[in-house]
Amino acid sequence: MQRCAVLLRGINVGKGNRLPMADLRAVLVDLGCADVSTLLNSGNALVTADPGGLAGRVEAALPLPVRVVVLTADELAAAVEDCPWRERADAAPTQVHLAYLERQPDDERLVALGTTFGDDELAVGARVLYLSFTGGSVDSPLTKALAKADLGVAVTTRNWATARKLVALTR
């Protein structure tokens, strides 16, 4: 059993894929997770559980077709620690995002994605893509490229502030 983050992709963004966090907590408890809590209203849960196969079990138990990424506390901490733009992220936490990956994609898929998108940049880490935006992320060419990319794995993105809170809450 390990402390983990269970991250749902695209929950409670806009009018679609609405899922009350109380319902998410109930699903996780029913799956045998302990110490269940949620952060914000966007599909961030913290649990104590065996991470092996947990993402698939959560996806199967949810009432919506949602992709799930599970990371251990150590994986979350390493992702924040290894961010190539930590100083910029601390100064402007909405301009650096971490895109957490279900598993590491094939190198060919990552190369096809690229690393520079106008003034925005992407860097590859272990089960994470680091996204640096010079302005907002909504209309960024990087956001559009990532949305269209075929990485072959589930991806869910959190801004720097949320990434740091997740690390703090899994310790």
| pLDDT score for 6 | 97
3-state secondary structure at position 88: helix
| pLDDT score for 4 | 97
Conformation bin of residue 161: beta by default, left when phi > 0, alpha when psi is -120 to 50: alpha
Q: What is the pTM of this model?
A: 0.94
Tell me the pLDDT of the chain averaged across its residues. 94
Residue among 124, 119, 120, 96 nearest 109 (CA): 124
Residue among 76, 73, 59 nearest 19 (CA): 59
3-state secondary structure at position 28: helix
Planar angle of CA 131, 135, 137, nearest 5 degrees: 50
The first and second tokens of residue 54, run together, are: 């947990």
Q: Which CATH number fits domain 2-74: 2.40.40.20, 3.40.718.10, 3.40.640.10, 3.30.70.1280?
A: 3.30.70.1280
Domain 2-74 matches domain 78-169 at the CATH topology level? yes
**Architecture of the domain made up of 78-169:** 2-Layer Sandwich (3.30)
pLDDT at 13 over 80: no
Task: Determine the Cα–Cα distance for residues 27 and 39; give it in Å rounded to an integer.
Answer: 16
| pLDDT score for 138 | 86
| pLDDT score for 17 | 81
Residue ranges covered by each domain of the chain: 2-74, 78-169
pLDDT tens-digit series, residues 37-94: 999 988 999 999 999 999 999 999 999 999 999 999 999 999 999 999 999 999 999 9
Task: Determine the Cα–Cα distance for residues 57 and 4; give it in Å rounded to an integer.
Answer: 14
